[in-house]
Amino acid sequence: MKRYLIVFLSLMMIFSCQRTKPQSFKDKQQRYPRVQTAFEEKDDLLRSLFADQGIPYPPQKLFIRVFKQEKILEVWAFSTSDTVFKLVKRYAICRASGNLGPKRREGDLQIPEGFYYIDRFNPKSNFYLSLGINYPNQADKILGRKGELGGDIFIHGGCVTIGCVPITDEYIKEVYWLAVQAKSNGHAKIPVHIFPTKLGDRTMTCLKSAFPNNDTLINFWENLKIGYNWFEQYRKLPTISIKRDGIYQFSDSSEE
């Protein structure tokens, strides 16, 4: 009898642990129909894509890079074997608003420029699925119009924008599902770097010619170029901090 009681109590403990096991972020997101659809339609495709690039799947760390002039959104994933980020896929941005240059106030239609991270997941977006970025960041708050910066900048589905980054419903399924998995694996702040264009030396010369009397804008882009060059050279992300004057500073990262 005592032996049966011990077995019974052991089973009860197992069932209790199973009932109280916390759900992962991925599990919680998959309760939403659109996220479940993204999983069902895109997981096998993405798994194959990662295999082709020699990147472990599901992703442990992601990096998103946006080029406004080229209308391109890039998704990179960290390869643990090579200890660098590798390009997973480029997505076309189907519509853009505003001009080259940072967002400095609400209603200017500008897509922000700078160094951000994903801070919100919206599985019930008006634009199918959406990933919010942490605009305004500290640099924006220092350099932008005080109290009138606006917010709610997203990477989302659909093909309309007033400062966001739309990539269509089909493609947001892929990017959103990758971001869900990365966050569920512990990547709490997925970096999103937004540039006016690819900031190579030749492009910077063209920008200086196109904006000859705007030292403020050129100096801002020269600052962004440091972060752009860092990733181009090392395929790793620097640690980014912001000085009191709103200038970005870059140093070696201990994470990658």
Residue 256: pLDDT over 50: no
Task: Give the integer Cα–Cα distance in Å for 196 and 87.
Answer: 20
Classify residue 150 by burial, with Cβ atoms within 10 Å: 0-12, 13-18, 19+.
buried
User: For residue 51, what pLDDT band results from cuts at 50, 70 and 90?
Assistant: very high
Task: Give the integer Cα–Cα distance in Å for 194 and 101.
Answer: 10
What pLDDT score does 20 carry?
60
User: For residue 81, what pLDDT band results from cuts at 50, 70 and 90?
Assistant: confident
Taking the model in full, what pTM does it have? 0.90
With CA atoms as reference, report the closest residue to 220 among 117, 87, 113: 113
Residue 14: pLDDT over 80: no
Average pLDDT, the chain: 91
pLDDT per position as a tens digit, 89-108: 999 999 999 899 999 999 89
Catalytic center residues: 156, 164
pLDDT per position as a tens digit, 147-192: 889 889 999 999 998 899 999 999 999 999 999 999 999 999 999 9
Classify residue 7 by burial, with Cβ atoms within 10 Å: 0-12, 13-18, 19+.
exposed
Which segment of 11-25, 82-96, 186-200 scores lowest on mean pLDDT?
11-25
What residue ranges do the domains of the chain occupy? 23-199
Q: Which CATH architecture group holds 23-199?
A: Beta Barrel (2.40)
User: For residue 255, what pLDDT band results from cuts at 50, 70 and 90?
Assistant: very low
